Amino acid sequence: MDTNMRTAFHTVFSRAAAAILMLMVLAVFSTDAHELDELLNEAAQNNPDLLAAKWRAEQMLLRHQELLEFYDPAITVAAGQAERTRSIPGASGYSSLTNNATELQAGIDMAMEPGFYVAFGASERVYNDPDKYDYLAQTLFGVKIRVPLLRNRRFKNLSIQREMALAEYNAAVSSLLDVAQRLRRDVTLAYIAAYESLSSYKVTQEATVRFERLVNEAKDLNKLKVIPEYQIFDAQMDLQLGLENEEIARNRFNLNLITLSSLIGGHRQVSLKNGPEILFQIASETKKLEEIAMEEALENRGSYLQIKNNLEYARAQIASALEEQKDDITFNMGLSWQGEMHDHFDGSFKYSTDRHVGADASIIWKRTLDYRGPRARQARFDARIQQLKENLRAAAVDIDVQRQNAINNFRTALSRIDIVSKGIEASQKTLEAEQERFRLGEGTSSNVTDAQKELTSLQQRRTSAAADLLRAKTNYLFAIGYNGEE
């Protein structure tokens, strides 16, 4: 592997390693991020989609090793006897040795830098019925050189294949980066959803406790003849509805844990280490998003880079089609030495020839009458390039939309948290007032349950707003390709 190719492959391999390590850096949260870090590490080691993408990149890396076979020398060894050899019509892939002789020959053919083919060979043959002699042995040594002058000059085809292999590997690494980025986003979103459902579950449990307290209080007040009996039934009805909401919230929490477990590989059950209050605590510490230029964000995204790498591959295909349209002109040169002996081997005499040394040189030109195939392929590859350019433009638009949506959702969630927090304070005071009126017999249980429902609704809204804020930040970081941050 030459220095430039080694450097290029080292660069993209480093990018592949970064795609895996990206899952192991600090998470979206600045508070108690250790739990999410552990989940991301497990996902990096066990998620089948990520591991499959890693092996795809490994396959493309090994593709370059296949190209090195171009320089593998080809060795030929043959031995045999021929007598009155005749060509047979229709026979292909068949070769015979020197006619009317017993022969042993060996040769080696190889490609060499900066761009020529060389063959070395030697043979020892004994003629069966030579003219003038009862016995004649020949010893032959020679070298042949072939140099492409136009098509495949300086092994252009190999250079193109290397470019294509590098583009394929870059695309595989970019795909790995994209899978890693999506996995990080999905694990983080599932983590947020788990704590959101846990917080919602806790809110419904607190609401159930308030309803139970109200039912007991209504029964006591009914015994004291402060309120009529029907108000107990209203409170009991709301209690049962609250129990149903609690069961729904519990199930949603368990489902989110199952989803989170599947993302980290599905090899174990996931349990959360923190209480439901952590969600709002983290959200309260999240105030702004990092600003980044759109051009930089695009270069961070694996999906965008994959299209760019596919574009490079198509351009290499264009270069291959253009190379095919060149005429085949080669320079050929050979040098040989032959010696003979009529009574034993390894002779250095001249019997059937007047010189030991022979040489030849030629230039050969060859072309097809029309390059219809290469031109058609060039047109097809041109169309492929245009398609990829449009795909690249569409990807840029989509990433920008993701970024803008995340920014707007983040700002809205911040505002919602502030609004709902103030509403919770007012709702708590309203509930306290309605509870006091109920104890004095001035209000009804329905007034209290309505106030409790409003408080529960606002608490759920605050949970939703906090989760939406963290989701918006997660989606924003994904949109900008994480940019090495958090």
CATH code where residue 260 lies: 1.20.1600.10
Measure the CA–CA gap between 103 and 137, rounded to whole angstroms: 10
User: Does 413 share its domain with 361?
Assistant: no
Going by C-alpha positions, the residue among 397, 422, 409, 389 that lies closest to residue 464 is: 409
Residue 159 in this model has a pLDDT that exceeds 60? yes
Residue 10 in this model has a pLDDT that exceeds 70? no
Q: Looking at residue 25, what is its pLDDT?
A: 43
Q: Looking at residue 33, what is its pLDDT?
A: 61
Query: What average pLDDT does the segment 332-345 reach?
Result: 80
User: Does 181 share its domain with 292?
Assistant: yes
Beta-bridge partner residues of 111: 117
Q: Half-sphere exposure of 2 toward its Cβ, with a 13 Å CA cutoff?
A: 10
pLDDT confidence band for 346 (50 / 70 / 90): low
Is 321 part of a structural domain of the chain? no
Going by C-alpha positions, the residue among 65, 58, 62 that lies closest to residue 16 is: 58
User: Does 348 share its domain with 413?
Assistant: no
User: Does 60 share its domain with 173?
Assistant: yes
Residue 383 in this model has a pLDDT that exceeds 80? yes
| Better-predicted residue by pLDDT, 329 or 9 | 329
Least confidently predicted of 57-61, 90-94, 181-185, 193-197? 90-94
Query: What average pLDDT does the segment 321-346 reach?
Result: 85
Measure the CA–CA gap between 85 and 81, rounded to whole angstroms: 10
Domain end among 323, 342, 366: 366
pLDDT digits (tens, 9 = 90+) for 64-122: 888 888 899 999 999 988 887 776 776 666 677 887 788 899 999 999 999 999 999 99
Least confidently predicted of 237-251, 284-298, 344-358, 418-432? 344-358
121 is in which domain, residue-wise? 114-153+332-366
Q: Half-sphere exposure of 332 toward its Cβ, with a 13 Å CA cutoff?
A: 10
Overall number of domains in the chain: 2
Measure the CA–CA gap between 317 and 80, rounded to whole angstroms: 45
User: Exposed, middle or buried, 183 (CB in 10 Å: 0-12/13-18/19+)?
Assistant: buried
Determine the 3-state secondary structure of 71 from DSSP: helix
Residue with tokens 């983590």: 191
Is 17 part of a structural domain of the chain? yes
What token pair was written down for 337?
Answer: 């030495």
User: Does 257 share its domain with 129?
Assistant: no
| Contact (CB, 8 A) for 67 and 165 | yes
Is 83 part of a structural domain of the chain? no
| Better-predicted residue by pLDDT, 364 or 3 | 364
Query: What average pLDDT does the segment 181-203 reach?
Result: 94
Containing 116, the helix (H) or strand (E) segment is strand 116-127
pLDDT confidence band for 351 (50 / 70 / 90): low
Global pTM value: 0.82
User: Does 164 share its domain with 145?
Assistant: no
Domain end among 366, 390, 410: 366
What token pair was written down for 143?
Answer: 């070298």
Query: What average pLDDT does the segment 244-269 reach?
Result: 92
pLDDT confidence band for 486 (50 / 70 / 90): very low
User: Does 218 share its domain with 309?
Assistant: yes
Going by C-alpha positions, the residue among 123, 115, 117 that lies closest to residue 142 is: 123
User: Does 8 share its domain with 137?
Assistant: no
Query: What average pLDDT does the segment 173-193 reach?
Result: 95
Containing 439, the helix (H) or strand (E) segment is helix 372-439
Is 96 part of a structural domain of the chain? no
Q: Looking at residue 401, what is its pLDDT?
A: 96
Residue 218 in this model has a pLDDT that exceeds 90? no
Is 371 part of a structural domain of the chain? no
Mean pLDDT of all residues belonging to the chain: 86
Is 169 part of a structural domain of the chain? yes
Q: Looking at residue 65, what is its pLDDT?
A: 84
For the chain, percent of residues with pLDDT exceeding 90: 51
pLDDT digits (tens, 9 = 90+) for 262-319: 999 988 899 998 888 888 888 888 888 988 999 999 999 999 999 999 999 999 999 9
User: Does 385 share its domain with 354?
Assistant: no
Residue with tokens 């169309």: 383
Contacts of 439-447 with C-beta under 8 Å, sequence gap 24+, read 439/217, 439/221, 439/226, 441/221, 441/226, 441/227, 444/227, 444/231, 444/234, 445/214, 445/218, 445/227, 445/231, 445/232, 445/234, 445/235, 446/231, 446/234
pLDDT confidence band for 349 (50 / 70 / 90): low
User: Does 167 share its domain with 137?
Assistant: no
Is 25 part of a structural domain of the chain? yes
pLDDT digits (tens, 9 = 90+) for 400-416: 999 999 999 999 999 99
| Better-predicted residue by pLDDT, 16 or 373 | 373
User: Does 172 share its domain with 277?
Assistant: yes
Q: Looking at residue 24, what is its pLDDT?
A: 44
Q: Looking at residue 333, what is its pLDDT?
A: 96
Q: Looking at residue 97, what is its pLDDT?
A: 81
Q: Looking at residue 7, what is its pLDDT?
A: 52
For the chain, percent of residues with pLDDT exceeding 70: 88
User: Does 188 share its domain with 164?
Assistant: yes
Please report the DSSP string for 388-410 in residue order: HHHHHHHHHHHHHHHHHHHHHHH
Residue 21 in this model has a pLDDT that exceeds 50? no
Is 325 part of a structural domain of the chain? no
| Better-predicted residue by pLDDT, 296 or 349 | 296
Q: Looking at residue 27, what is its pLDDT?
A: 40
